[in-house]
Structure 1
Amino acid sequence: MNNYKSAFFIFLLFCLPIFAQEFKISGKVIHTDQSEVSFANLLLYKIVDTSFVKGSVSDEGGGFFFDNISPATYLIKASYMGNNSDFKRVQLTSDLDIGQIHVDSKAQSLNEVVVVFQKPTLQQKVDRLVFNIENTALSESNLWEVLKSTPSVFIMNNEITVKGEKGVQVLINDKKVNLPPEDILNLLNGTSANGVQSIEVITSPPAKYDAEGGTMINIIMKKNLIAGYNGAVFNRYTQGTFPQHTLGTNHYFKGEKFQTSFNYSYSDKKQLTNYTDITNFMENGAVTDTWISNLEVVDWSKKHNASVFLDYALDDRNTISFSSIATITPDYNSKDYSETVIREPNSPNTTGFFTKNDSEFSTINTAFYLDYDNKLNDKGALLTLNAHFTYYDYDKDQQLETDFYDESGTIVDDNDFSTINRQRTNLYSLQADFSTPLGQKLNFETGIKYALTSSESHISQQGFNRNQPGIDPTEDGNFIYDENIYAAYASMDTKWKNWSFKSGVRAEYTKTKGDFNLNNTKIGNDYLELFPTVYFQFTPGQKHRFGLNFKRSIIRPEYNKINPFQVFQSNNSVIEGNVDLRPSYKNSVILGYTYNKDYTFELFYRYHKNSITIFTFQDNESKLLRFTTDNLDRELAYGLDFIYRKEIVKSWDTYFLSSYFYAADRFNDRDTRSKIDNGMWTLLLQFQNNFTFLEDRSLTANLNFTYVSPIVVGNSKQEEYKEWEVAIKKNIWGKKANVSLTVSDLFNQFKLYNTRNYGDQYNISLYRPDSRTLTLGFRYNFGNMKINSNYKDKDTEERDRL
């Protein structure tokens, strides 16, 4: 096996075709009076779809250049202090000096804001889909709303998926956002899209990225190409059963060598969620009694989200950058009220119990990144160094009180206990990347990385007054878990005529060690794995594009799922950790065809070994409903995706996604240990309609529909669900501000109904969030808005395991 891996690695590095070619465009910006223009802005567009390619700034002598540009036909435009050049058309087949670009020397007033939004554009690269939103209407919303409109991205129950596949990782400027899913939601909801250039959907991440996870969404923040400052304040009010409020601000500044952006939001939310669990406890195949639990959860939270990005150009070749992303929850309260009714077969009498669960917790999650970029030569060689540190702090206190009643409704017993839970996690990483052209037809990239995770958890539970099988609360436990990852990768990419090719391999050696003070059993693992990636793209003409890619990846267990603790959420439901969780491996293949840029068909196949999921199962002996994270034997999915995106008329464009696939999860029954296959065909639909009204296009509307037919979820079968959303937005005050109105789950149809019926398991769960909400939004832009936007004013891109 080792010889096979070595041979495969050598093949990818040295046996790839050599076809790539990129060139340099240079020139000089001058006024019409022949004086040189320093620090003018240069914009490069593709003529085929007028999509933005790259920006540049002229030096003190007016000179400028664009490097690493593929052969094609482009448009170039220069601007300076509100003065613009005409577009210059260039046909690039080799290094090209286009000479002078003239900018009108007549001064212009900046007391008027002129921003005419264009349509978002799509760019299909060999290994990713790039959704350019800069200077579009979408840039006036928040990142969460942008993701809802991004092709192939599908929001399922506030979880980001790509065409139905879960486990999506979020990156900002190629930096992994190491936040739990609920914190990612808050971060994206609280961050304006005004500073975003594009959204990259990377369905099969190349070797440069960590092998952890699968699909990635990379949010590329735009550079403020023109010197100056601008900012915005925004306010959103959401009304469901309870109110929710978010207030935030964004700021952007660029000087001669220094540029920065800062984003901050504060949210105050109160939310209602309802659950129903129906458990038919069984013995010898017959139902002995049925427990019906109705739970109402009221969550109230205050959260702060902030991010900062700083770039400083030491000189023309060296840049140092600092960035930080933080989510702080100083106060989160949850009050759960439930009643469980116990019915016996053929008996009209019932017993049961009431449970009140009060919990408070707080979190601090901060990440810091330091980057250094060095352009080694004029041919495009680049060296990048990165250091990263994350600190995660989680504190939770829980008080659970249960009163039992008899057939007459009289309280006959009680059970009160408390839980204290603490978790501290530190993440460190160091990374070095090197890329360079090899001749004129090949690009080579390689790098190394070291990552260390150090996590310590503590739990203390007191007050239990019962003794029964299956009940083993951790009265006072400590769990320490360390993970070390050593990684190296190499990849090559090339372009030749109508072909694009990219391939690479990543090697990761992982060593884990755990220590549980109540168990002397050795906890840990170490393993070395290779993760190859291969991409092909063939474009025989302007109307046809074919693509093929393959990717192998790993999913490691989340740190809090490894903790060997048993934590009760009610008197008969318990969440349990699992120190025996194994990493899972996923292989995926996608074969795609696009016609005329508007119609895309993709055949896909995914095989996921040891897939990690949450099992809900009933313990018939102890009368418990248990929630345990465990490994499936395997997860299999294959099917066909169809994507349609078209501007029907100038004021109406639409996006349609259909995914029809077969998914099957194979797992072991906990009692009989026999293998059970849980599979079915599923249809997933997403339909988005975007409308523009009024002569100045200042009024926009969106109508979105989501539908998911019955689907497999681990050991459950989930019934169909659907959801409608409508949004309206109006620009006001010369487009310096906008107001918006959004109604989510318009017909109050969203709910999740799951059934588990096999062997001695027969239970049902119903999840009903407060999903029908009305949101009012207001945003005001200030500062040098014309300077920020004039280049497109009239012209048509480890922590989530905490």
Structure 2
Amino acid sequence: MKKLLLSLTLISLISTNLFAQFPGGGMGGMGGGRPKETTPLPGTAQAAPKGSAKITGYIIDSAATKAVEFASVALIVKATNKPVDGTVCDDKGKFTLAKVATGEYVLAITFLGYQSKRVDVKIVNKNDEIDLGVIKLSQTSQILQEVTVEGQRSLIEDKVDRMVYNAEKDGTNKGGDATDVLRKVPSLSVDLDGNVTLRGSQNVRVLINNKPSTIVASSVADALKQIPSDMIKSVEVITSPSAKYDAEGSSGIINIITKKNTLQGLTLNFDSSVGIRGGNMSLNGNYRKGNMGFSLGGFGRATYNVNGDFVNTQIAKSDGTSTTQSAATRNNGLFGSYQLGWDWDINKTNSITASARYGARNQSTFQDALSTIIKRTNGTNTSTIRDVETKDNSGTVDLNVDYTHLFAKPQQEFSLSAQFSRNDRKNNFTNIIRGVPDSLSRITNINPSYNQEATLQADYQSPIGKTQMIEFGGKGIFRQVNSNFTQIGNSGSLDYDQNIAASYFSYTLTTKKKYSFKAGGRYEYTTINAIQTAEGGTKTDINIPSYGTFVPSFNVSKSLKGGTTLKLAYNRRIQRPSLQFLNPNRNASNPSNVTEGNPNLSPEFTNNYEFTVNTFFKNTFLTTALFMRNTTGSIQSVRRTVEEVGKSPYILTNYENIGNEDAYGMNLFGNVNISNKFQLGGGTDIYYSKLNNNRDTKNEGWVASFRMFGSYNLTKGWGLQVFSFYRGRQVQLQGSQGGFGIYSLSVKKDFLNKKGSIGLGAENFFTPNGFKINNSIESSTISQTSTNTLRNMNFKINFSYRIGKMTFDAPKKRKKSVNNDDLKDGGSEGGNGGGGQQQQPAATPAAGGGRPR
């Protein structure tokens, strides 16, 4: 691998001022690092009489015994009742008030959804250090005609650099997988195959707990099926990543955060669900004693009775030959995921985390009585009936080790991360003509493949004064991809090695006038060695030149009075093709519609521009984002008619760097807490898409999707939630894909002081016969229309129970809060993305900088 040369100097970064009363409002910029000295509240710090005393403490939820992140803490002079200083808690619930003068004070603690609390504090000596220990806040509760009203956290939050969907607050997520959860997230869209798009682009990086996996690189859709919805805490959508993130992911990053527990003690959580379309079960345990924690968990999911049918008609424009196909379809699958996590705070400045995960999938798809009728203009018509079975099995191993060192200066950190990940996959199919025993009537394809990655990474960050931060680091990613395929007349293999060396620099500046700037640059150098082996063993070197990529990013934000924030962002991204695009295996499970990858693909490059306005007033949150995305060398599917001697004409789909793809659109989302019991929200994503292959093909049109949700908390632990989603027609280079809708209703009852719950869920119950999706393809050689029907009405029962008790012990030492966000993933259609800046769960590594896809 060639030596990487980097010289980066860039200025200014985003670090939006904190809204303390907005739930989970984020801690401002400073490079995503955890503040060790919390930020003064505006309007108080300058008025505070200065001394040498210090006041510290921890704010926790009295019922859930968990930290209340970012609660407001005001220091009030007891005699005058005027605030003279203040701060906000960090993500551990810790607050610190430094340089406090002697005197008698009242500490006023507030946070949305909680009862305010006042604590008397007396500073006698100028160097006193007052540790108030744990201070418990109770959720808002008032009795009105014997009805209890309780505060609740917003389902959707806007943080400094991301939109957050709090999945754990949505009861309709019980008994599903990550696919069901992502459909509810603003700006995201998930089709019926599980392919995810962000603002209309599938080139998105998907992370799990800030860490990618080779299962995601192979197929996002498959990875999502291995994550139970009950275990998802939140989903973060990052559309303008900073230079610290890997350059991949043209449209942005999706970071799935699973539930975590960093409290002391032992717990065991059991969740299960059974329905007419599938069922799942999970068991997860956590144990923490002192400065060491362990976690162990397992999850299994089965899908069954997923039935449908399709009708497809295509006409060859060269001679008018028409081909009509129809079949009944069935899908069954078994999915499993098992993980072991360990973390150890060696001392107040050093910590190690490690995790191991194994995921498995066994999925079968059937096309029963696949009827093919070919009508030629010369009158020679043919027809066949086939049975097709496709088996798609895989196993994935992820190993992570992370080390973090904290310096004496707050927010100064150094981290090292190492990861190994491997996905082994086998995709086979058998296609048999009914009633013909001859072996020539049987079409088979055996396609084992693997995707392996090893990563080493180092990151460093340090503040400059109180308003600036620098970050820099380096990373090496070493990938090996292999695909072997065996079929009659077309066997071979692909060996594809890709190495990436990267380094980055980022600078942050926050001003007194509530402006935040963040700018940076990342340089990545890529080398590729690819060999394709054809039938008979002939090897061909695929000449793909090495290339360097510089990726700049710039973000600026401004906090206005009244709870409004303005954000302006620009970034450049790269999208390298994944195995799903590269694999030269010719998949002919349907002989009339064949797909094939292209190992000669080049990466595509995207420029993203975004302007966002977020407003929070009274009980309403509203966000509006305008965006523009320009992509060159866009990787798109291209279809053409192939005629071979002795065979019927068929449509071949492969992938090419077609040219340009532009999108101009808007995301609009609103969320209102009508009362402490009743919450409504909804929004729309709409954009205009233009595709042009710089030859003779182009297409354009409007694309829109809509979502709505509501929740109502009844008395005595009962809750009701509804959700609906509609995805409109999708514009493609050679046609369009039809829209579809999904809706659900759930009711849940908590018992035994919320240790357990039981619930009922219903999905698409007004459409027992399923819904139809109409697709079309139009090119210079073919015209095709198809209708797919999916029957997905579902009823299910959910049950969960928690055993054990956790306690909150205020740490005696300065604790780490490392963000693992400099990450790389792959999309379901070969896409890749970045990372998040969220603290890691105890079950997974949590070192800064993170690991690649």
* TM-score between the two structures when normalised by the length of structure 1: 0.81
Q: Residue deviations 1:295-344, cap 9 Å, x none?
A: 33323322211233321111011010012332113x43333221112235
Q: Is the 8 A contact 2:577 2:601 kept in 1?
A: yes
**Greater strand fraction, Structure 1 or Structure 2:** 1
Q: Is the 8 A contact 1:276 1:294 kept in 2?
A: yes
Relative to structure 1, the CA distance from residue 665 to residue 75 in structure 2 (aligned partners, 3 Å threshold; closer, same or farther) is: farther
| In 2, Cα distance between equivalents of 1:788 and 1:377 | 23
2:265 to 209, 228, 246: 228
Equivalent position of 1:118 in the other structure = 152
1:772 to 793, 796, 802: 793
Equivalent position of 1:377 in the other structure = 408
Q: Is the 8 A contact 2:523 2:549 kept in 1?
A: yes
Q: Is the 8 A contact 1:381 1:437 kept in 2?
A: yes
- 5 Å matches for 1:80-479? 88=119, 99-101=130-132, 118-120=152-154, 123-131=157-165, 144=178, 146-157=181-192, 158-179=194-215, 180-189=219-228, 192-193=231-232, 196=233, 198-213=234-249, 214-221=251-258, 224-240=261-277, 244-270=278-304, 271-283=306-318, 288-329=320-361, 331-337=362-368, 338-344=370-376, 351-402=382-433, 415-462=441-488, 473-475=489-491, 477-479=492-494
Is 1:480 equivalent to 2:495 in the alignment? yes
Relative to structure 1, the CA distance from residue 586 to residue 768 in structure 2 (aligned partners, 3 Å threshold; closer, same or farther) is: farther
Relative to structure 1, the CA distance from residue 539 to residue 14 in structure 2 (aligned partners, 3 Å threshold; closer, same or farther) is: closer
- Consecutive unaligned residues of structure 2, counting only runs of 5 or more, are 17-27, 39-53, 59-64, 75-86, 99-105, 137-147, 811-818, 831-853
| In 2, Cα distance between equivalents of 1:275 and 1:74 | 66
Return the letter of the residue paired with 1:264: G
Relative to structure 1, the CA distance from residue 682 to residue 75 in structure 2 (aligned partners, 3 Å threshold; closer, same or farther) is: farther
Relative to structure 1, the CA distance from residue 657 to residue 122 in structure 2 (aligned partners, 3 Å threshold; closer, same or farther) is: closer
Q: CA deviation at 1:211?
A: 0.8
- Aligned-residue sequence identity (percent) comes to 21
Equivalent position of 1:506 in the other structure = 522
1:47 to 61, 64, 72: 72
| In 2, Cα distance between equivalents of 1:218 and 1:379 | 26
Equivalent position of 1:517 in the other structure = 533
| In 2, Cα distance between equivalents of 1:374 and 1:501 | 27
| In 2, Cα distance between equivalents of 1:528 and 1:633 | 20
- Consecutive unaligned residues of structure 1, counting only runs of 5 or more, are 31-39, 58-63, 68-72, 79-83, 106-113, 406-410, 463-472, 669-673, 790-796
* 1:55 match: secondary structure: coil
| In 2, Cα distance between equivalents of 1:317 and 1:353 | 71
Return the letter of the residue paired with 2:502: A
Return the letter of the residue paired with 1:675: D
Q: Is the 8 A contact 1:353 1:404 kept in 2?
A: no
Compare 737-746 and 205-214 and name the one that shifted more: 737-746
| In 2, Cα distance between equivalents of 1:151 and 1:516 | 41
Compare 603-612 and 659-668 and name the one that shifted more: 659-668
- 5 Å matches for 1:551-566? 551-566=571-586
* 2:315 match: secondary structure: strand
- 5 Å matches for 1:8-27? 9-12=8-11, 24=37, 27=55
* 2:472 match: secondary structure: strand
Q: CA deviation at 1:210?
A: 1.0
The number of residue pairs the alignment matches comes to: 718
| In 1, Cα distance between equivalents of 2:127 and 2:480 | 52
Q: CA deviation at 1:426?
A: 1.5
2:759 to 740, 743, 756: 740
Q: Is the 8 A contact 1:164 1:684 kept in 2?
A: no
Relative to structure 1, the CA distance from residue 402 to residue 135 in structure 2 (aligned partners, 3 Å threshold; closer, same or farther) is: closer
| In 1, Cα distance between equivalents of 2:9 and 2:654 | 42
Q: Is the 8 A contact 1:126 1:502 kept in 2?
A: no
* 1:602 match: secondary structure: strand
1:543 to 563, 566, 569: 563
* 1:24 match: secondary structure: coil
Q: Is the 8 A contact 1:738 1:778 kept in 2?
A: yes
Q: CA deviation at 1:799?
A: 5.0
| In 2, Cα distance between equivalents of 1:53 and 1:103 | 14
Relative to structure 1, the CA distance from residue 146 to residue 623 in structure 2 (aligned partners, 3 Å threshold; closer, same or farther) is: closer
Return the letter of the residue paired with 2:600: D
Q: Residue deviations 1:392-436, cap 9 Å, x none?
A: 11124432223599xxxxx99963232221112221110001011
Equivalent position of 2:632 in the other structure = 609
Return the letter of the residue paired with 2:228: N
Relative to structure 1, the CA distance from residue 573 to residue 677 in structure 2 (aligned partners, 3 Å threshold; closer, same or farther) is: closer
Q: CA RMSD in A?
A: 3.9
Q: Residue deviations 1:42-74, cap 9 Å, x none?
A: 7553339999742168xxxxxx8699xxxxx99
1:591 to 582, 590, 611: 611
Q: Is the 8 A contact 2:264 2:807 kept in 1?
A: no
2:511 to 472, 496, 508: 496
Relative to structure 1, the CA distance from residue 357 to residue 139 in structure 2 (aligned partners, 3 Å threshold; closer, same or farther) is: closer
| In 2, Cα distance between equivalents of 1:316 and 1:767 | 59
Is 1:759 equivalent to 2:780 in the alignment? yes
Return the letter of the residue paired with 2:607: N
Return the letter of the residue paired with 1:340: T
Return the letter of the residue paired with 1:480: D
Q: CA deviation at 1:783?
A: 0.9
| In 2, Cα distance between equivalents of 1:539 and 1:238 | 47
Relative to structure 1, the CA distance from residue 304 to residue 258 in structure 2 (aligned partners, 3 Å threshold; closer, same or farther) is: same
* 1:553 match: secondary structure: strand
Relative to structure 1, the CA distance from residue 14 to residue 183 in structure 2 (aligned partners, 3 Å threshold; closer, same or farther) is: closer
Relative to structure 1, the CA distance from residue 402 to residue 143 in structure 2 (aligned partners, 3 Å threshold; closer, same or farther) is: closer
Equivalent position of 1:662 in the other structure = 688
| In 2, Cα distance between equivalents of 1:354 and 1:66 | 77
| In 2, Cα distance between equivalents of 1:709 and 1:746 | 21
Equivalent position of 1:108 in the other structure = none
Q: Residue deviations 1:702-750, cap 9 Å, x none?
A: 2222223333023222234333222222223432211222222343364
* 1:188 match: secondary structure: coil
Q: CA deviation at 1:355?
A: 1.6
Q: Residue deviations 1:660-680, cap 9 Å, x none?
A: 221111126xxxxx3322001
Is 1:713 equivalent to 2:712 in the alignment? no
* 1:184 match: secondary structure: helix
Which fold has the larger relative contact order, with Cα–Cα distance below 8 Å and residues 6 or more apart in sequence?
Answer: 2
Compare 727-736 and 130-139 and name the one that shifted more: 130-139
Q: CA deviation at 1:253?
A: 1.9
Q: Residue deviations 1:71-124, cap 9 Å, x none?
A: xx996699xxxxx9955599xxxx99872426699xxxxxxxx99772236553
Equivalent position of 1:689 in the other structure = 710
Equivalent position of 1:528 in the other structure = 548
Compare 137-146 and 614-623 and name the one that shifted more: 137-146
| In 1, Cα distance between equivalents of 2:377 and 2:97 | 78
Q: Residue deviations 1:582-602, cap 9 Å, x none?
A: 111111111111233522221
Q: Is the 8 A contact 1:426 1:453 kept in 2?
A: yes
Q: Residue deviations 1:146-172, cap 9 Å, x none?
A: 544444444333333334443332223
Return the letter of the residue paired with 1:365: T
* 2:565 match: secondary structure: strand
